[in-house]
Amino acid sequence: METTSSSPFKPRQKDKDEDTREEDDAPAAAVAVEHMDTSGEPQKKLLRLSETFEKPQAVKEVRLNDTYQQRELTEWLQSAWTNEKTETKEKQTGAQVFGDPFQICLLPEMLVQGQSQSLVAEITQKVQWSRKQMDLYEFYQSTDLSNMPNCRLLTNFLQVLRKQVRPWLEKVTGLKLDYVSASCSMYTCGDYLLVHDDLLKDRQVAFIYYLTPWEGAEEWTDAQGGCLEIFPSDEQCFPQFPVQRKIAPKDNQFAFFKVGSRSFHQVGEVTTFDYPRLTINGWFHGETNEAFVADSLRAFPRLRYLPPDNINQPPLGLLLNNVYLKSATRRSIQKRIEENSEICLYEFFKRERFEMARSQLMADSNTLKWRRQGPANAHNYEVLDLSTAKGTIQELLQLFRSHAMFDLLRDFTDLDLAGSDADQPTCSVEIQRWSHGNYTVLGDGLVSEENTLDLVYYLNAADGAAVITYLSPDSELPEEKAPGASRRMESEGEDEEDESVLLTITPVDNALNIVYRCEGTTKFTKYVSCNTPLEKGPVFVISCSYKE
Amino acid sequence: MTNNDAAGDAPSSSRASGSKQQPKLEITEKVRVLCLHGYRQNGDAFKNKLGSFRKFASKYAEFVFISAPHVAAALESSADPVPEQRSWWANKDDGTFKGTNKGGPAYGFQESLRLVEETWRTQGPFQGLLGFSQGACFVGLICGLAKKKLTSIRPEFAVLSSGFLSGSLVHMSAYEESITIPTLHIYGQTDEIIPKEMSQALAAQFKNVEILEHSGGHYFPATAQQKQTFINFFQDRLQEYLEHQELQQSGNASFIESGGEDGDGDGDANDAEVAAMTAAAGSGSELGDSD
């Protein structure tokens, strides 16, 4: 069949199995299993499943590639794994082992040819997806594979994992692996899973089986996103940028790695609009992971709080719009904050000042020094080295730190930030730069242990960038959280986020957001998608916190 | 009422002369709508089919038509594809498209999205989207992507005729949030290609919905029976647009001066002032800092 040059659609070569795989309707084989025939079908079903334990037979059953059952390969993998070689590749199968920053192994062509397509067909028709959405991730997840009686192939796949892959992995890794948990994950455009170590209880080895049998996407390109991204970590086991290794989704490839205090990874944002990133993934479980216990004692670096600046006295009257200096205004603001715990003051600074500050931040100058704020499992945005601030930016910085500001905020909020009742008022100030891929996640660095007053001020605001959400202290995180512990990923977490959202700040130029945070309130800044248009350039945020 | 210096240059003729870059927002007296045709159609064919419809709405709206970048797969496997038959994307790996298909990918979708984004930018300004069949499915997806800030297209309203929800897994996240912009959903009670239940399912994704049912099948209706609905819909959208423009102007004005000074009795007056300051639609950021 000819195609014109303008059409990208080349009909796939039909292979022999084509006619037995129906993609529009439920596959015929599955239908036979599903029908609750009265003629003794249920017994036949059980028989077929038990057969696969010993010898996977018919074409429709999930079957491992023979090569992975060969002794030489097993021994090669064993040796590569324990030697912790930096990088090595096995010639016959293309299997790869990386030792740095932690052990990870890639096995291409895990199942016999054509089976990933059958699995995708079953997943497309049968799997129910639930949306997982929190600071750390946005993606779809299925229920556990052990809970899918109507998905014959997926159930089959689980049996293969349990009966064949698990004992084999025990040999390769030398670890005791008692049971496996698995579910399907799907990431569509804009979805991601931010960096984490997977440490939880008895997880020993994490695995991912990639399903992407579609023409044009059998192995994903960088432009399509969705890579498994591996992070190095520092001496304190905090993950650091930049990403050390990227593993692109590749059809029928099986990846696994040892879960430990350094196994930091993320699923990079899927940026293609054309293909979903589909996997079967989970963990092999064994002994309680020692690293898990040690990990819970690590604390995040925290913001620096300083007393008010008594030296620099920036002129409030020249910077702020007059209305905010009027005492009647202050009373109204106070009332609002008392009622709502927050307020947004539009056009806080005089327009010319705002414009000057903005253009100074935007100008490509050599004087302003930015550095990336980490660690990667807490933050990814740029922070200004405040000693390089000049001009209007320096003016604003001094203003926020000044005694006059503490006074003003006391008037706005009735907090003891100044005056005779003030104990030891302090503030921290950050000037941040936000662009694609930036985020903060909930973490202990951002839990306020005492009542705090947050100020958030935007310059060069754009929709969808640097959007901050505050969550109430009642929000139940999916798992127990020891103080100082990093967030954890569970295969089936509960998303309490929606019920506990206190406030979401929408970026508006020259608007000062004031938020009174009571003890235990957390906040995060939503991941900025690579597809979010930032036509005006990066978004700048002056973020301040005041304590009594 | 336009700022356009080009004397007598009606917007439609500037469109005909090629996509002129319009760097500044022009104030026009009509809303402008970008139209996306159905499967196996193209921009011109769709425009012709909508002749009566465009006449009905012409007092309030102006319509721009583009063609999808992909040629639809031929109907018969032995035949050649017809270049005039276009497709926004395929949802089966043989390169075909059917509204009822369920699958993973949407082959070629990204290229089409980029084309619509480019058109939105270079042939704009546009306020609304209109689509028929696959085009309506596309419009629904764009509304979802716009809500998630994954595209530069920002529809303020939409018309979806014989539309349906995409059966591609890759599109699932576009339907995560309910869409709040005003929409008009049109479908035929006897449509056999896209049964009305499918169009109704699409409408359920939207909050601000007007439904227009007609007794016919799979086509865009434009008889006397629909005329008033179309007129009302675009009249309302134009009004909203003009009101929004007005707000923009006044939002940049200097602040309300307070009546009294620091006297206690002025609590109310200053509450109003603070309210104006703090509750004023913060829409200035989106359309640029126009000072």
From B67, B112, B191, B199, active-site residue: B191
- pLDDT (tens digit, 9 = 90+) per residue, B87-134? 999 999 899 999 999 999 999 999 999 999 999 999 999 999 999 999
Mean pLDDT (whole number) for A224-240 = 92
Scan residues 524-543 of A and list those with Cβ closer than 8 Å to B.
529, 531-533, 535
Buried b (16+ CB within 10 A) or exposed e, A505-538: bbbbbbbbbbbbbeeebbbbbbbbbbbbbbebeb
pLDDT of the residue at B289: 36
Q: A217 and A87 in one domain?
A: yes
Distance CA A234, CA A101 (A): 10
A486 burial level (CB within 10 Å; 0-12, 13-18, 19+) = buried
Same domain, A285 and A326: no
**Residues A291, A347: one domain?**
no
Residue B98 inside a domain? The answer is yes
Check: CB of residue A78 under 8 Å from CB of residue A100. Answer: no
- A473 and A386 in one domain? yes
What would the two tokens of residue A282 be?
């989970």
pLDDT at site A424 = 85
User: CA–CA distance from A181 to each of A176, A401, A495, B222 (Å)?
Assistant: 15, 52, 20, 57
pLDDT for A499: 57
- Judge whether residue B263 has pLDDT over 50: no
How long, in residues, is chain B?
A: 291
Instruction: Write the burial class of residue A33 (CB in 10 Å: 0-12 exposed, 13-18 middle, 19+ buried).
Output: buried
Q: Which pLDDT belongs to residue A226?
A: 97
Look at residue A474 and give its three-state secondary structure: coil
For CA atoms A255, A243, A442, A538, the dihedral sign is negative
- The predicted pLDDT at position B246 comes to 85
**Run of H or E including A380:** strand A379-384
A396 and A279 assigned to the same domain? no
Catalytic status, residue B171: no
pLDDT at A484: 28
pLDDT tops 50 at residue B280: no
Helix (H) / strand (E) containing A352: helix A351-362
**A417 & A535 share domain:** yes
Please tell me the distance in Å from B143's CA to the nearest CA on chain A: 14
With 50 as the cut, is the pLDDT of residue B44 above it?
A: yes
Nearest to B92 by CA among A193, A120, A389: A120
Angle in degrees, CA B285, B289, B291, rounded to 5: 145
* Amino acid found at A356: M
Residue B28 confidence class, pLDDT cut points 50, 70, 90: low
Q: Where are the alpha helices (DSSP H) in A14-160?
A: 28-34, 41-54, 71-83, 115-126, 152-160
Residue A60 pLDDT grade (very low, low, confident, very high; cuts 50, 70, 90): low
Chosen domain end from A267, A296, A325: A296
pLDDT range class, residue B251, cuts 50, 70, 90: low
Residues A349 and A320: beta-carbon distance below 8 Å: yes
Is B154 inside a domain boundary? yes
Distance from CA of A541 to the nearest CA of B (A): 14
Question: What is the three-class DSSP state of B173?
Answer: helix
Does A344 share its domain with A276? Answer: no
| pLDDT for the residue numbered A296 | 54
Give the range of the structural domain holding residue B176, as residue numbers without chain letter: 31-71+82-246+271-287
Give chain A's end-to-end CA distance (angstroms, integer). 76
Catalytic residue among B133, B161, B168, B199: B133
Whether residue B236 is contained in a domain is answered as yes
DSSP element (H, E) containing A410: helix A403-413
User: Which pLDDT does position B39 carry in this prediction?
Assistant: 97
Q: What is the pLDDT at residue A216?
A: 84
In a domain, B193, yes or no: yes
pLDDT of residue B278: 60
Q: What is the pLDDT of residue A90?
A: 82
Phi, psi of B199 (to 5 degrees): -70, -35
In a domain, B7, yes or no: no
Q: Is residue B221 part of a domain?
A: yes
- Chain B neighbors of A347, CB-CB under 8 A: 255, 277
Q: Please tell me the least confidently modeled range out of A390-394, A474-478, B10-14, B39-43.
A: B10-14
Domain with A108 in it = 41-296
Sort strands A342-345 and A512-517 into parallel, antiparallel or unpaired.
antiparallel
Q: Running DSSP on this structure, what letter comes out for residue A445?
A: G
Degrees to nearest 5, angle at CA A154 with A174 and A36: 140
Encode pLDDT of A480-537 as tens digits.
333 223 344 443 344 444 558 889 998 999 999 999 988 888 889 999 999 999 999 9
Q: Among A20-34, A471-485, B201-215, where is mean pLDDT lowest?
A: A20-34
Mean pLDDT of A379-385: 93
Cis amide linkage into residue A27, ω under 30° from 0: no
Does any domain span residue A19? no
Measured between CA atoms, the residue of chain B closest to residue A333 is B274
Give the separation between CA A461 and CA A465, rounded to whole angstroms: 8
Interface contact A186-B172, CB threshold 8 A: yes
Note whether A207 and A83 are same-domain residues.
yes
Tell me: pLDDT of A31 over 60: no
**DSSP states along B223-280:** SHHHHHHHHHHHHHHHHHHHHHHHHHHHHTSPPPPPSSSS-GGGHHHHHHHHHHHHHS
Question: How high is the mean pLDDT of chain B?
Answer: 83
pTM, two decimals, is 0.81
Report percent pLDDT > 70 for chain A.
81
Q: Work out the percent of chain A whose per-residue pLDDT is above 90.
A: 50
Rounded (5°) CA angle A132-A261-A494: 20
Pair (A190, A290) in one structural domain: yes
Which residues 6+ apart lie within 8 Å of A139 measured at CB? A132, A185, A186, A187, A188, A191, A192, A193, A267
Q: How far is CA A508 from CA A130, A345, A390, A544, B289, in A?
A: 33, 10, 23, 17, 10
For A41, list phi and psi in degrees, rounded to 5.
-55, -45
pLDDT of B288 above 80? no
3-class SS string, A303-326 = CCCECCECCCCCCHHHHECHHHHC
The answer to whether position A472 is within a domain reads yes
How large is the average pLDDT for residues B242-260?
A: 58
pLDDT (0 to 100) of residue B274: 55
Nearest CA-CA distance, residue A108 and chain B, Å: 22
Query: Which residue of A5, A7, A321 to mutate against B (max B Cβ within 10 Å)?
Result: A7
Cα separation of A544 and A536, whole Å?
A: 24
Q: How many CA atoms lie within 13 A of A85 on its CB side?
A: 13
- Structure-block tokens of residue B118: 């480019």
Number of domains in chain B: 1
A277-285 vs A130-133, strand pairing mode: unpaired
Cβ contact A7–B95 (<8 Å): yes
CA pair distance B289, B161, nearest whole angstrom: 37
**How far is it, in rounded angstroms, from Cα A153 to Cα A184?**
13
In a domain, A304, yes or no: no
Q: Flag whether A484 is in a domain.
A: no
Cβ(B207)–Cβ(B232) under 8 Å? no
Omega before residue A375 within 30° of 0, cis: yes
Model confidence at A207, pLDDT cuts 50, 70, 90, reads very high
**Inter-chain touch A533–B78, beta carbons under 8 Å:** no
Same domain? A259 vs A176: yes
pLDDT digits (tens, 9 = 90+) for A94-143: 999 998 888 899 999 999 989 999 999 999 999 999 999 988 999 999 99
| Closest to A109 measured CA to CA, from A72, A170, A64, A160 | A64
State whether B266 and A328 contact (CB < 8 Å): yes
Name the pLDDT band for B63 (thresholds 50, 70, 90): very high
**Are the C-beta atoms of A234 and A193 separated by less than 8 Å?**
no
B289 has catalytic annotation: no
Closest CA to B128 of B248, B244, B17: B244
CA–CA separation, A130 vs A141, rounded Å? Answer: 5
Rounded Cα distance, B142 and B116, in Å? 10
Q: What is the per-residue pLDDT for B277?
A: 60
What's the rounded mean pLDDT across residues A214-229?
A: 95
More confident residue, B79 or A299: B79
The answer to the question of residue A381 being in a domain is: yes
Domain-located, residue B212 = yes
User: Among all residues of chain B, which has the CA nearest to that of A507?
Assistant: B285
Query: What CATH number has the domain bearing residue A535?
Result: 2.60.120.620
- Considering only CA atoms, which of A176, A230, A239 is closest in space to residue A204? A176
For the residues B211-223, what does the mean pLDDT come to? 97
* Residue A293 pLDDT level (bands cut at 50, 70, 90): low
Tell me whether residue B185 is one of the annotated catalytic residues: no
B85 neighbourhood in chain A, CB within 8 Å: none
What's the structural domain count of chain A?
2
**Arithmetic mean of pLDDT, B245-259:** 54
Residue type, A309: D
- Residue B26 confidence class, pLDDT cut points 50, 70, 90: low
Asked if residue A157 and residue A211 are part of one domain, the reply reads yes
Closest listed residue to residue A153, CA positions, set A173, A182, A131, A178:
A182
**Closest alpha carbon to A242 in A220, A268, A224:** A268
Give the pLDDT score at B13. Answer: 40
Count of beta carbons in the 10 Å neighbourhood of residue B6: 10
Q: Do B105 and A275 touch (CB under 8 A)?
A: yes
Helices A391-401, A351-362: crossing angle, 10 deg rounding: 120
Predicted local confidence at residue A115, as pLDDT: 93
Nearest-Cα residue of chain A relative to residue B75? A1
Q: Which residues of B touch A326 (CB under 8 A)?
A: 258, 261-262, 270
User: Has residue A478 got a pLDDT over 80?
Assistant: no
Compare B28 and A91 and report the one with higher pLDDT: A91
Is the residue at B3 inside a domain? no
Largest Cα–Cα separation, chain B:
87
Interface contact A497, partner B, CB < 8 A: no
Q: Which of B80, B92, B110, B113 to mutate against chain A (most A CBs within 10 Å)?
A: B110
CA distance B105 to chain A (A): 4
Q: Which amino acid is at A443?
A: G
Contact yes or no for A188 and B70 at CB 8 A = no
How far is Cα A42 from Cα A401, in angstroms, rounded to an integer? Answer: 74
In a domain, A155, yes or no: yes
Q: Which of A88-92, A223-227, A237-241 holds the top average pLDDT?
A: A223-227
Residues B186-214 have a mean pLDDT of: 97
What whole-number distance in Å separates Cα of residue A191 and Cα of residue A269?
6
- Between residues 99 and 128 of chain B, which touch chain A (CB distance below 8 Å)? 100-111, 113
Q: Are residues A390 and A446 in the same domain?
A: yes
Interface ipTM? 0.80
Q: What is the pLDDT of residue A26?
A: 34
Rounded Cα distance between A147 and A183, Å, is: 9
Q: Give the separation between CA A242 and CA A236, rounded to whole angstroms.
A: 17
Alpha carbon A452 to its chain's center: 27
Q: What is the arithmetic mean of pLDDT over A184-205?
A: 92
**Preceding omega of B125 cis (within 30 degrees of 0):** yes
Residues, chain A, total?
A: 548
pLDDT at A30 exceeding the cut of 80: no
Contact A188, A270 (CB under 8 A): yes
Does B12 have pLDDT greater than 50?
no
What's the CATH number where B165 sits? 3.40.50.1820
Mean pLDDT over the full length of chain A: 82
